[in-house]
Structure 1
């Protein structure tokens, strides 16, 4: 006799900046809210670019979110009746996020994580690549290249900094295609119109 599984699962939405990852996370979580499924959304406390207690997409879509300092604080903040958990900017969490997400999924919850899978030098940006390996569903988003308009899979930093994490949006980064990406070109000349 076949039994329907009551287990949870993991969904990862990844890709470069400006590819619609947060927008897709908001869309999926909103569908669950419409279905009256208990949801919670979390974001790293470090990300206060648009709002402290909301996930806000570059296109200004937003949803209420709880800012947390790390993966253990996230785990402690999950309510017992929550069935769907949204996590934005997963690349800013510690590597413990992988175990927390695994645990939440094994307790029957649907966990949706959005984040960059590579950094501005095209290196794997943990913990997103490991989460992709553990996820039942992975959605790779593409942006539009800011240079040529083609499909962009990379994030180009356009300001000078050796730091791995520089919070910013169009002031610090552009989406680039394979042909337009240049790791040796950290600052691009800007045209004034």
Structure 2
């Protein structure tokens, strides 16, 4: 069985801009847990249906079955046995994966900390910055509380440098700074950009 470097439960957070491979890394870690015969449960926000309604999907085309949920309360309900992703065994898994964690509200924080305290390995993937390059939702606190953080970069579409930001485009032009923070999209709405070429639309 694959061994964790941490004793008992812990929290891992994978962050970066759009197109940096966050979901790909989440899928990789979950697949390794499955190979190790660990019980896993994977969740995603129901509003993210870009590629598959019931799967975590990377921009590169890899996917992993996941339960779409409206909020963290629904994740808690599933893990408490009011519905389950698990084909067999107890409702409380060894590993819980959550994609697009930035879309969940503050109730996600006590849930994942509780899971980690109970011995569960929790793996979260999400955007650390919104399209304005401002900290995104619950991500700052999750980053601060995690045992493990991996910050990925993409490739700037303008200059090819490492990209740490997500450029939102509306009709090919930068979105305005005061536009709504949440807009689910892919290449039709976003590009990866470096600090120099990111335009927050101020």
Residue aligning to 2:194: 177
State the shift of 1:5 in Å.
7.3
Cα deviation code 1:133-190 (max 9, x no counterpart): 01000000000001111100001111146111111001000000011111238xxxxx
1:128-147 mapped onto 2 (5 Å cutoff): 128-147=139-158
Report the secondary structure of 1:158's partner residue: strand
Moved over 6 A (4+): none
In the alignment, structure 1 residue 165 sits paired with structure 2 residue 182 = yes
Report the secondary structure of 1:168's partner residue: coil
Cα deviation code 1:10-69 (max 9, x no counterpart): 000001010000000000000000010000100001111111110000001000000111
Residues 5 and 59 of structure 1: CA distance in aligned 2, closer, same or farther (over 3 Å): closer
* Number of equivalences: 182
Task: For 1:39 and 1:5, locate their aligned partners in 2 and report how far apart those are by CA, in whole Å.
Answer: 18
Structure 1 window deviating more from structure 2 (176-185 vs 52-61): it is 176-185
In the alignment, structure 1 residue 46 sits paired with structure 2 residue 57 = no
Say whether the 8 Å CA contact 2:132–2:201 is kept in structure 1. no
Residue aligning to 1:73: 74
Residue aligning to 1:99: 110
Residue aligning to 2:63: 62
Report the secondary structure of 1:163's partner residue: coil
Report the secondary structure of 2:52's partner residue: coil
State the shift of 1:81 in Å.
4.0
Residue aligning to 2:37: 36
In the alignment, structure 1 residue 127 sits paired with structure 2 residue 144 = no
TM-score of the aligned structures, taking structure 1 as reference length = 0.90
